């Protein structure tokens, strides 16, 4: 079973997260940040991950710590659930439309953390959510999952649509990357013999 549980407690957040890679896309997410809950639910549905998350954070300060720390916890859970990454496809990509918006997402579960995110938002906020926190989440996820992640806005003018396309595209790309490649059997998909 490709599952993981991550508990993370700091002076700023208290997080409990469980992840099942071979799920049905069911999410039960209570991060304390409504917009993040919406985005994580979309990500889990598109990835077909089962995700349970609770986060008690210092949102009276702002949402930054909760959003970043949830990204950290999800990245750690993804890395743990994948283990040595034997038999996985490794790469995934999606070009995802959301009305007028089109976002390209591509990733490599390489063991090397890298984020290239060109996602300009036309507004600073979506409701009460700071749009700059999307990049913070993606950076924390990429670092802790040790993956190379590219997200690029191709066209779009609505901030909500841009964020939604990015999170859905990430889910689709992850779904492809973690899937098992029957041709590989139990091999690690690298000529180096390791993805770490």
Top-level class of domain 3-178: alpha beta
Q: Specify whether the CB–CB gap between 28 and 45 falls below 8 A.
A: no
Whether 48 shows a pLDDT value over 90: the answer reads: yes
Please give the pLDDT value at position 196. 67
Q: Specify whether the CB–CB gap between 44 and 51 falls below 8 A.
A: yes
- φ, ψ dihedrals at 159, nearest 5°: -60, -40
Please give the pLDDT value at position 43. 98
- Average pLDDT (54-66) is 95
Report the distance separating Cα 109 and Cα 189, nearest Å. 10
**% of residues, the chain, pLDDT over 70:** 95
Domain spans of the chain, in order of start: 3-178
Work out the pLDDT band at 191, boundaries 50, 70, 90: low
Please give the pLDDT value at position 185. 77
Question: Which own/partner contact pairs does 121-126 have at CB distance under 8 Å and 24+ positions apart?
Answer: 121/159, 121/162, 121/163, 122/157, 122/158, 122/159, 123/159, 125/159, 126/35, 126/159, 126/160, 126/163
Q: Specify whether the CB–CB gap between 134 and 166 falls below 8 A.
A: yes
- Average pLDDT (15-35) is 98
Q: Specify whether the CB–CB gap between 150 and 104 falls below 8 A.
A: yes
Please give the pLDDT value at position 182. 84
Work out the pLDDT band at 183, boundaries 50, 70, 90: confident
Q: Are strands 129-130 and 91-98 parallel, antiparallel or unpaired?
A: unpaired
Please give the pLDDT value at position 181. 83
Q: For the chain, what is the mean pLDDT?
A: 95
Q: Are strands 114-118 and 148-155 parallel, antiparallel or unpaired?
A: parallel
Q: Which helix (H) or strand (E) holds 17?
A: strand 13-20
- Average pLDDT (101-128) is 97
- The string of pLDDT tens digits covering residues 129-154 is 999 999 999 999 999 999 999 999 99
């Amino acid at each position: 079973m490709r599952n993981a549980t991550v508990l993370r407690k700091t002076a700023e957040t208290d997080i409990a997260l469980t992840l099942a890679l071979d799920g049905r896309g069911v999410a039960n997410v209570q991060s304390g940040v409504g917009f993040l809950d919406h985005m994580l639910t979309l990500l889990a549905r598109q990835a077909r991950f089962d995700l349970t998350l609770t986060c008690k954070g210092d949102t009276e300060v702002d949402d930054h710590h909760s959003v970043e720390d949830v990204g950290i916890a999800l990245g750690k859970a993804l890395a743990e659930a994948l283990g040595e990454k034997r038999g996985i496809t490794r790469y995934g990509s999606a070009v995802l439309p959301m009305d007028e918006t089109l976002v390209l997402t591509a990733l490599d579960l390489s063991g090397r953390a890298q984020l290239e995110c060109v996602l300009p938002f036309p507004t600073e906020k979506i409701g009460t959510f700071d749009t700059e926190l999307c990049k913070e989440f993606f950076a924390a996820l990429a670092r802790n999952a040790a993956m190379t992640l590219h997200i690029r806005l191709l066209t779009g003018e609505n901030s909500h649509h841009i964020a939604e396309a990015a999170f859905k595209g990430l889910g689709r790309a992850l779904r492809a990357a973690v899937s098992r490649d029957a041709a590989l059997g139990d091999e690690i998909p690298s000529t180096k013999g390791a993805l770490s």
